[in-house]
Amino acid sequence: LPTLLTHPAVPLGLALGLGRKAISPRLAAVGVLASVLPDLDVLAFKLGIPYAAQFGHRGFSHSLVFALVIGVLGLALAPLLRAPRWRSFLFLSIATASHGLLDAFTNGGLGIALLWPFSDTRYFAPVQPIEVSPLGLSRFLSPRGAAVLRSEALWVWLPCLLTASLILASRRRRA
């Protein structure tokens, strides 16, 4: 994982750029949850499931199929989220899928089971500029934790903020 603090950069950036008329505050909040949801799979370690197993960390919950399932849930619950169904589907799918895709850019751990259930292969991106976050808070509050936050600021928060401002700017121009 990039840290739990950083995955929400994607849904927050999108919501900020598109504005609250397009992405309701409820939909944005559920998008934030969706972006960190895949890492609930660290429970697998407690249950004795090996890292490399399909139900291990960075396994099924980090796949594109899992992201689509969360999207379909969003589609079904769209009225509660005060959003059109297709928008709720797209936003939550993207928020969830972004988690596994970002993890693939980290420089440690095992790769991501992006194509589960069709393949158990663990994938990494061709470049891995993001410092992998240590598992566990105690190790996180160390000099290494600061290096992780720096690399996440540079490689995740900055691009997300830039994207948000670009979307905002193009919306303003059209208005």
Nearer to Zn ion, 69 or 77 (CB): 69
Nearer to Zn ion, 39 or 152 (CB): 39
How far apart are CB 134 and Zn ion at their closest, in Å?
13
Nearer to Zn ion, 103 or 152 (CB): 103
How far apart are CB 173 and Zn ion at their closest, in Å?
36
Q: Which stretch binds Zn ion (CB under 5 A): 23-31, 43-51, 98-106, 132-140?
A: 98-106
CA distance 31 to 63: 16
How far apart are CB 149 and Zn ion at their closest, in Å?
16
How far apart are CB 69 and Zn ion at their closest, in Å?
16
Peptide bond into 25 cis (omega under 30): no
* Contact (CB, 8 A) for 138 and 129: no
1 forms part of the interface with Zn ion (CB under 5 A): yes
103 forms part of the interface with Zn ion (CB under 5 A): yes
102 to 73, 78, 107, 156: CA distances (angstroms): 22, 26, 11, 8
* Residues 6+ positions from 5 with CB-CB distance below 8 Å: 152
Site residues for Zn ion, 25-54, by CB under 5 A, read 39
CA distance 22 to 28: 10
152 forms part of the interface with Zn ion (CB under 5 A): no
How far apart are CB 141 and Zn ion at their closest, in Å?
20
CA distance 86 to 119: 28
Q: Which residues of this protein are in contact with Zn ion, per CB under 5 A? A: 1, 39, 103
